[in-house]
């Protein structure tokens, strides 16, 4: 899995169009984040088949970028985010994006993108679920 990002001019129906195109292509959205920045919509997706998703979106006129992400599992308790983020910052690894994908009473599943991926993978090895 890769994180796929689209930056499009914001307009009514944009998310509906993207989700229709992906659904019609039998591509399931595992995670979705939409933000409006000025006149633009920033849409971030996680899907199982990133290559196919990028191809489908590009063929439908959307410009995409993708990046490798890290999936970790942390305890669902106060301070848990601080603990792993402090480990990264102490080693000069910058967190570029972070999303909580799911939560239950025991834990959070978190996806993050960092500037020094290999270093982060070593530092987070004890809580690593997957890298993609």
CA-to-CA distance for 60 and 52, rounded, in angstroms? 12
pLDDT of residue 2: 79
Q: Name the residue ranges covered by the structural domains of the chain.
A: 2-67, 70-131
Whole-model pTM over 0.95: no
Architecture per CATH, 70-131: 2-Layer Sandwich (3.30)
CA-to-CA distance for 56 and 40, rounded, in angstroms? 21
The CATH number of the structural domain formed by 2-67 is 3.30.2130.10
The answer to whether domain 2-67 and domain 70-131 are alike in fold is yes
35-89 pLDDT tens trace: 998 999 999 998 889 999 999 999 999 999 888 889 999 999 999 999 999 999 9
CA-to-CA distance for 4 and 66, rounded, in angstroms? 4
């Amino acid at each position: 899995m890769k994180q796929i990002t689209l930056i499009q001019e914001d307009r009514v129906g944009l998310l509906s169009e993207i989700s229709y195109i992906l659904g019609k292509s039998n591509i399931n959205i595992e995670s979705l984040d939409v933000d409006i920045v000025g006149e633009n919509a920033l849409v971030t997706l996680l899907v199982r088949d990133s290559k196919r998703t990028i191809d489908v979106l590009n063929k439908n006129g959307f410009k995409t970028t993708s990046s490798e992400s890290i999936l970790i599992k942390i305890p669902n308790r106060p301070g848990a985010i601080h603990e792993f983020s402090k480990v990264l910052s102490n080693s000069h690894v910058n967190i570029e994006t972070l999303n909580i994908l799911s939560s239950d009473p025991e834990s959070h599943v978190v996806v993050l993108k960092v500037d020094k991926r290999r270093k982060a993978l070593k530092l987070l090895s004890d809580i690593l679920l997957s890298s993609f």
